Amino acid sequence: METLAIRCEGLSKQYGDVHALQPLNLTVSQGAIFGFLGRNGAGKTTTIRLLTGLAVPSSGRAWVAGVETTTADSAARSSFGYLPQEPAFYGWMTPLEYLDYVGKLFQMDKPTRQRRSDEMLTLVKLTDAAKRPIHGFSGGMMQRMGIAQALLHEPPVLFLDEPTSALDPAGRHELLALLASLRGQVTIFLSSHILADVERICDTIGIIRDGELVLVAGRDELMEQYATDSILLEVAKGSPTAVATLVAILQSQPWVQQLDQENGRLHLHVNDVSAAQQAILPLIAESRVQLNKFEWVRPSLEEIFLSISDR
């Protein structure tokens, strides 16, 4: 039987006449890295605030690691860690001092606080900065510090609200690598509008639009569902006659639905994938065309997201 880390039933939030979140029914499996996608204002942060008990729902209930979080019970906070979009720290503290402070809030004894602080600073690669004031940290260091405090009490579930939105490419890379290293150890609920980040590390994806959950699917399943039956050939320079021959051969194939040629690239849309897979390489070899690239085109998560969110 599948173990669920997150479950909600009919969870909704209304502010006056504004439905920030339509009744939400959602489950997230234990150990998953779940990407929660939506445009700004779609309801991502509202959902996280409801799941973590930081906001009171208009209706519905939610459970995290089997503990109900929509009852304003402070005991539920031990079942998850949370990193808001803009984490705030006491800047005059060092990481060691701040983690010790957080440990006290969770009623951890001193030896446990010291052990977990050392473990977390090692995990997020801040050991060398353990005694530096936090106010001097870069954006990437701040986010890694946020991960450390969120995981200090060993929660089974981690909620992250737009964790990479303010980071430069290097900071994003470091943080995503850190999250990927946690796969299987903790369930991660990652809210984001940066689709490349979600595509890189998430195994399950949910898309929310105007406060309504419109899709939940495995990443590979989603890519397969929206796969395009097309091939991209990038031709090496210097063989126009051979290229013309290949184009003529391909256009005569019954499995080629459309062929577009532009700047040394041939883009084939096919109507019979099996036939194309068997025939395409022998035909290229026969034409003696040299290729720089041969690729079955896979849609990006961005393309899929736009096709769904614009409906």
Residues 134-157 have pLDDT tens digits of 999 998 899 999 999 999 999 999
Q: Which CATH architecture has domain 230-302?
A: 2-Layer Sandwich (3.30)
pLDDT of residue 40: 85
Selected residue with higher pLDDT from 126 and 240: 126
Q: Which helix (H) or strand (E) holds 280?
A: helix 273-287
Q: Nearest-5° angle of CA 90, CA 91, CA 93? A: 75
Q: What is the DSSP letter of 164?
A: T
Whole-number Cα distances in Å, 35 to 76, 142, 173, 288: 23, 21, 17, 45
Sign for the pseudo-dihedral over CA of 96, 101, 106, 107: positive
> What is the pLDDT, as a whole number, of residue 187?
96
Fold for domain 4-225?
Rossmann fold (3.40.50)
The model's pTM is 0.81
User: How is the chain split into domains, by residue range?
Assistant: 4-225, 230-302
Q: Residue 1 pLDDT more than 60? A: no
Q: What is the pLDDT of residues 210-243, one digit of tens each?
A: 999 998 999 888 877 776 678 889 988 877 888 8
* Strand 80-83 to 157-161 pairing: parallel
Percentage, residues of the chain above pLDDT 90: 55
Looking at residue 311, its pLDDT comes to 62
Roughly what angle, to the nearest 10 degrees, separates helices 139-151 and 110-123? 140
Check for a shared fold between 4-225 and 230-302. no
Pairing of strands 33-37, 204-209: parallel
Which residue type sits at 305? F
Residue for token pair 């050991």: 127
Phi-psi region of 30 (alpha: psi -120 to 50; beta: other; left: phi over 0): beta
Q: How far apart are CA 42 and CA 300, in angstroms?
A: 21
